[in-house]
Amino acid sequence: MIILTTFDLDEYAYSALRAGASGFLLKDAPPADLLSAIRAVARGDAVVAPSTTKRLLASVADRLPDPYGAVPTDDLELLTAREREVLVEVARGLSNAEIAETLVLAEATVKTHVGRILSKLALRDRVQLVIYAYDHGLVAPGQ
């Protein structure tokens, strides 16, 4: 459905799009643009008048994700340096006591780190931690 109107008002465009319209054009659009819009909508695309598009984008731009922002691209970035060290030691097959001795930590601290790693990476158990570490190149067979 294409809405064709004389009113270049945001509330009309937003209402039309919410109601399922795939197109929103102004009546003063050139005939060629109207034909092009009809073809585009028939293909499953969407068409919005350029002036409306500009305002629509301006109204949502601040809610779009920032591809260069603080959101990690890899969940490994969610871990602190110490948590990564603990993860590597878990992947090498060490127990909590052995990790505590290797990294000079209390065993309770190691348990806390393991729990946080599991939570941050949304993993179920130590086996999944080991698989994760191998998949991400933190350890290699024979290490």
DSSP string, 47-71: EE-HHHHHHHHHHHGGGS--TTSSS
Domain 75-135 annotated CATH 1.10.10.10: yes
pLDDT digits (tens, 9 = 90+) for 10-41: 888 888 877 888 888 888 888 988 898 899 88
Percent over 90 (pLDDT), the chain? 30
Distance CA 46, CA 123 (A): 40
**56 or 61, which is more confident?**
56
Banded pLDDT at 63 (limits 50, 70, 90): low
Reported as a pLDDT band with limits 50, 70 and 90, residue 70 is very low
pLDDT number for residue 72:
45
Annotated domain spans of the chain: 2-63, 75-135
Which of these, 116, 86, 125, lies nearest to 103 by C-alpha position? 86
Q: Could you tell me which of 103, 98, 101 has the C-alpha nearest to residue 80?
A: 103
Rounded Cα gap, residues 136 and 132, in angstroms: 6
Contact 138/88 with Cβ under 8 angstroms? Answer: yes
- Per DSSP, 22 falls in state S
Check pLDDT > 80 for residue 95.
Answer: yes
pLDDT at 62 > cutoff 80:
no
The predicted structure's pLDDT at residue 143: 65
pLDDT at 106: 95
